[in-house]
Amino acid sequence: MPDPKSDRPMMLGAVPPRADAPRITATEIGAAVLSLVWLGAVVAWFTLTEPAGEDGAGLILKLFVVFLPVALIWVAALASRTIRDLRQEARRLQVAVDAMRHSYVQQQQAAAAATRPSMERKLDEIAAAAKQAETAIATFTSSRRDGAPRPLPVQPAAQTEQPALAFDAPPEDHRLPIAIDEFIRALNFPDDPEDKEGFRCLRLALEDREAARLIRAAQDVLTLLAQDGIYVDDLRPDRARPEVWRRFAAGERGRTIAALGGIRDRSSIALTAGRMRGDTIFRDAAHHFLRQFDRSFQAFEKTATDQDIAELADTRTARAFMLFGRVTGVFD
Mean model confidence pLDDT for the chain: 76
pLDDT tens, residue by residue, 224-243: 999 888 898 888 888 889 99
Residue 81 resides in a domain:
yes
* Residue 155, CA distances (Å) to 69, 211, 213, 296 in order: 92, 10, 13, 8
Residue 220 resides in a domain:
yes
Mean pLDDT, residues 163-189: 67
Q: Which of 86, 110, 134 is the last residue in one of the domains? A: 110
Q: Output the pTM of the full model.
A: 0.51
Q: How many structural domains comprise the chain?
A: 2
> Are 196 and 61 contained in the same domain?
no
Helical residues (DSSP H) of the chain, grouped into ranges: 26-48, 56-135, 180-188, 196-207, 209-227, 242-249, 266-278, 280-301, 306-313, 316-328
> Are 186 and 99 contained in the same domain?
no
Residue 72 resides in a domain:
yes
Mean pLDDT, residues 113-132: 63
> Which domain covers residue 20, as residue numbers?
16-47+57-110
What pLDDT is stored for residue 73 in this prediction? 85
